[in-house]
């Protein structure tokens, strides 16, 4: 039985004393394998007569009075108790996301308190995710960014909740260093059949993934929505299609049932074409720490991946000839000619006209640590149907 009316009779202290404040858990599933991967803690006021009051009925008044801060800590403490129980009993648990009001930004000892509670129960910090609603970014944006930096520095993961329904400017997303983006259910109407809605969603997932954010779609209710979200390579699904928020005991049973590692479904059977492409890209990115996309005709380049590579100081100008000059300057002097000859724009253009598919060389490259290492660079020519520009993808990796 769920109460509909606004609960002006809610008394936080009383509810806690009477043990009427209950934590429900909503499972979050991997969008491709349908496996339980994490969860969100959602508070309920369960009255003695069995009436369940949803947070929308009492949280606004707590936000107003400031008591929301105490509620959030209460929820965290109970989540930690739950996770500790799993840990003690050897149950394979999943991380739990806890909602924290924007009011915590003003708590000067927030991170200390967070660490103290979680550590007290011996729960690994990676098992707790901190959810902060996107609307919090409208005001206090500088303080929020600093707040998030501190939380992540303490090894907790941070999720931006309700993305797409607040009024914050898109620019905040480039400044923010979060781990997870939760796309709000308000963006998922019409079973995702509306063309404009699909464009907006595809773009959000695209920029989120390029910013290396893990994506979760909230409020997924239909198979059509799920199908579309898979084509966007959405990582995780939270919604009534799979499961409603459930009482702790029920979620406990679910975790225990998921305890035995299931036979993995054949990944190719559950792939949407774009997800398969994503897998392929991930494989390429894992194999090559440095990937550069260049337009030889326009003398420009774009760094697609740049991690754990020997030379960490490639130019950011985007001018291809600068890149080659930089490569040559950090090259073993005996390899310089080979490098220049192979990768000068004119020589690559010639190779392309000859019909070569790839040009590759091994050179010795000076790392930022002052040591020369052998680097293999393979430049693959690619065609773009909408232009005659000569494009090339460089895949580079250290051989030593
Ligand atoms: P939220 O953090 O965005 O949580 C997701 C809400 O969407 C939950 O509502 C959940 O029940 C609902 N939901 C999930 N899947 C579906 C679906 O498929 N369809 C529909 N229609 N709804 C779905 P809930 O539990 O009523 O919570 C509402 C909000 O209250 C939460 O939104 C969160 O902002 C706030 N809240 C809940 N617990 C806490 C808490 O402990 N602390 C704070 N500060 N806020 C909380
Ligand atoms: Mg939330
Ligand atoms: Mg949300």
Q: Give per-residue pLDDT as tens, 340-382.
A: 889 999 999 999 999 999 999 999 988 777 888 899 999 999 9
**Which token pair is 199?**
């464009």
Q: Measuring CA to CA, which residue among 127, 108, 86, 99 is closest to residue 42?
A: 99
Give the CATH number, domain containing residue 199. Answer: 3.20.20.450
> For residue 113, what pLDDT is reported?
98
Q: Is 221 in the pocket of ligand 1 (CB under 6 A)?
A: yes
292 and 263 in one domain? no
Domain end marker among 270, 297, 330: 270
Residues with CB under 5 A from ligand 2 (ion): 99, 131, 161
* Residues 160, 187 contacting (CB under 8 angstroms): no
Distance in angstroms (rounded) separating the CA atoms of residues 145 and 149: 6
Which helix (H) or strand (E) element contains residue 128?
strand 128-133
Torsion of CA 191, 194, 199, 202, to 10 degrees: 10
Confidence label for 313 from pLDDT (cuts 50, 70 and 90): low
Q: Is the CB of 130 under 6 A from ligand 1?
A: no
Q: Are residues 111 and 182 in the same domain?
A: yes
Residue 13 belongs to domain spanning: 7-270
- The answer, yes or no, to whether any atom of ligand 1 lies below 6 A from the CB of 136, is no
Q: Is the CB of 99 under 6 A from ligand 1?
A: yes
Is 211 a member of any domain? yes
* Best residue for ligand 1 mutational test, from 16, 23, 57, 59 (most atoms within 8 Å of Cβ): 59
Lowest mean pLDDT among 212-226, 264-278, 325-339: 264-278
Q: Which contiguous run of DSSP H or E holds residue 358?
A: strand 358-366
Is residue 39 included in any domain, yes or no?
Answer: yes
SS3 of residue 293 by DSSP: strand
Residues 317 and 225 in one domain: no
The answer as to whether 280 is a domain residue is: no
Ligand 1 atom at minimal distance to the Cα of residue 62: 44
- pLDDT class of 263 with cuts at 50, 70, 90: very low
For the chain, where are the alpha helices, taking DSSP H only? 12-17, 55-65, 68-89, 110-120, 141-153, 171-175, 195-210, 223-231, 248-257, 273-287, 320-329, 336-343, 345-354
CA dist., res. 83 & res. 38, Å (int): 12
User: Structurally, how many domains does the chain consist of?
Assistant: 2
pLDDT tens digits for 9-42? 888 899 999 999 999 999 999 998 888 999 999 9
**Beta 180-183 vs 157-163: how paired, if at all?**
parallel
pLDDT over 50 (residue 264):
no
Note whether 262 and 306 are same-domain residues: no
Q: Which residue, of 270, 297, 328, is where some domain finishes?
A: 270
Question: Hey, how many other C-beta atoms are within 10 angstroms of the C-beta on 3?
Answer: 14
Tokens of 54: 């949803």
d(CA 271, CA 41): 30
Between strands 180-183 and 246-247, the pairing is unpaired
Is the same domain home to 245 and 300?
no
Q: What is the DSSP letter of 262?
A: P
Residues 309, 290 contacting (CB under 8 angstroms): yes
Could you give the percent of the chain with pLDDT greater than 70?
90
- For β-strands 214-218 and 236-238, DSSP reports them as parallel
Rounded to a whole number, what is the largest CA-CA distance in the chain? 84
Q: How confident is the model at residue 269 (pLDDT cuts 50, 70, 90)?
A: low
- Cα 252 to Cα 347: distance, rounded to the nearest angstrom: 64
Same domain assignment for residues 314 and 201: no
Give yes or no for residue 240 CB within 6 A of ligand 1: yes
Contacts 24+ apart (CB under 8 A), 328-332: 330/365, 330/366, 331/363, 331/364, 331/365, 331/366, 332/363, 332/364, 332/365, 332/366, 332/372
- Whether 368 maps to a domain, the answer reads yes
- Residues 153, 252 within the same domain: yes
Total Cβ atoms within 10 A of residue 307: 11
What is the CATH classification number for the domain harbouring 322? 3.30.450.20
Q: Nearest-CA neighbor of 201 among 235, 164, 227? A: 164
- The residues pairing with 132 across neighbouring beta strands, listed in sequence order, are 160
Residue 87 has pLDDT above 90, yes or no: yes
- In DSSP terms, 379 is beta-bridged to 359, 394
261, 364: one domain: no
Question: Nearest C-alpha to atom 13 of ligand 1 is from which residue?
Answer: 219
Q: Is residue 33 part of a domain?
A: yes
User: Is residue 330 assigned to a domain?
Assistant: yes
Of the residues 270, 305, 338, the one at which a domain ends: 270
Task: Provide the whole-model pTM.
Answer: 0.74
Residue 234 within a domain: yes
245 Cβ inside 6 Å of ligand 1: yes
Distance CA 32, CA 40 (A): 19
Same domain as 320, residue 226: no
Q: Are residues 251 and 379 in the same domain?
A: no
Say how many Å lie between the CA of residue 129 and the centre of ligand 3.
13
Q: Supply the pLDDT for residue 95.
A: 98
pLDDT of residue 261: 47
Q: Indicate whether 224 and 318 sit together in one domain.
A: no
In short, whether 56's Cβ falls inside 6 Å of ligand 1 is yes
Separation of alpha carbons 364 and 289, rounded Å? 16
Least confident of 49-63, 84-98, 127-141: 127-141
Please check whether residues 51 and 88 belong to one and the same domain: yes
Q: Would 264 be classed as within a structural domain?
A: yes
């Amino acid at each position: 039985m769920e109460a509909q009316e606004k609960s002006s009779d809610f008394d936080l202290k009383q509810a806690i004393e009477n043990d009427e404040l209950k934590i429900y858990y909503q499972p979050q599933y991997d969008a491709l394998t349908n496996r339980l991967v994490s969860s969100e803690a959602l508070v309920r006021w369960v009255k003695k007569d069995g009436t369940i009051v949803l947070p929308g009925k009492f949280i606004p008044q707590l936000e107003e009075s400031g008591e929301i801060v105490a509620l959030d800590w209460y929820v965290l403490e109970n989540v930690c108790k739950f996770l500790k129980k799993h840990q003690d009993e050897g149950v394979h648990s999943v991380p739990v996301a806890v909602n924290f009001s924007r009011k915590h930004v003003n708590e000067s000892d927030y991170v200390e308190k967070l660490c103290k509670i979680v550590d007290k129960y011996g729960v690994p910090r990676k098992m707790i995710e901190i959810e902060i609603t996107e609307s919090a970014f409208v005001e206090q944006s500088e303080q929020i960014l600093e707040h998030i930096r501190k939380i992540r520095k303490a090894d907790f993961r941070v999720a931006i909740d309700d993305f797409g329904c607040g009024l914050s400017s898109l620019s905040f997303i480039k400044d923010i260093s979060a781990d997870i983006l939760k796309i709000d259910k308000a963006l998922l109407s019409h079973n995702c059949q509306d063309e404009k809605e699909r464009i907006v969603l595809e773009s959000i997932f695209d920029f989120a993934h390029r910013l290396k954010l893990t994506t979760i779609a909230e409020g997924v209710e239909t198979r059509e929505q799920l199908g579309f979200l898979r084509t966007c390579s959405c990582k995780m699904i939270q919604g009534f299609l799979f499961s409603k928020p459930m009482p702790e005991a029920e979620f406990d049973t679910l975790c225990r049932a998921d305890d035995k590692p299931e036979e993995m479904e054949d990944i190719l059977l559950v792939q949407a074409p774009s997800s398969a492409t994503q897998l392929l890209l991930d494989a390429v990115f894992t194999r090559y720490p440095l990937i550069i996309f260049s337009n030889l005709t326009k003398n420009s380049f774009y760094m697609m991946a740049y991690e754990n590579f020997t030379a960490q100081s490639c130019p950011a100008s985007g001018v291809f000839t600068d890149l080659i000059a930089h490569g040559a300057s950090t090259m073993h002097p005996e390899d310089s000619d080979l490098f220049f000859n192979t990768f000068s724009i004119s020589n690559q253009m010639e190779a392309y006209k000859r019909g070569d598919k790839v040009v590759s060389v091994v050179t010795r490259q000076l790392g930022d640590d002052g040591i020369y290492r052998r680097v293999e660079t393979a430049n693959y020519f690619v065609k773009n149907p909408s232009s005659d520009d000569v494009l090339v993808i460089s895949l580079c990796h250290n051989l030593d």
